Amino acid sequence: KSIRNEYEQCKEEKKNYDRSQQNMFQKFFKEGVYNEKPSDITVLEETLPSYDPSNPKCFMDIQIGDGETKRLVFELFAKKVPKTAENFRCLCTGEKSTDK
């Protein structure tokens, strides 16, 4: 009879443990895995900048798989970000390439 009581007690303890684990995981995933705050979005400009013909342009020819090659043309805003525009232009032209 005492073995039977111990067995019933073990079953009850296991049931309580399983319930506590279930509650913990439900709470964990209900609140989210990461408790991050939503990021602040900073809007610098509401509209696209107007076209300035004096801005340099460069292009890249892109092909994905066996598809048709398409050309992407970029207008570089050299007056706003001169160093970035120049670096990107050099990237497109291969001007500062280390390949020989």
Average pLDDT across each block of 10 residues of the chain; the chain has 100 residues. List them in order.
Answer: 87 92 78 63 76 88 92 90 91 77
- In sign, the C-alpha dihedral spanning 52, 53, 58, 61 is positive
Expressed as residue numbers, the domain containing 4 is: 1-35
Are 93 and 53 part of one and the same domain?
yes
Task: Give the pTM.
Answer: 0.45
Are 58 and 91 part of one and the same domain?
yes
Are 50 and 79 part of one and the same domain?
yes
Are 93 and 62 part of one and the same domain?
yes
Radius of gyration of the chain (CA): 31
Which pLDDT value is given to residue 36?
63
Which pLDDT value is given to residue 60?
86
Are 50 and 31 part of one and the same domain?
no
Provide φ and ψ at 63, rounded to 5°: -130, 130
Are 30 and 57 part of one and the same domain?
no
Are 88 and 61 part of one and the same domain?
yes
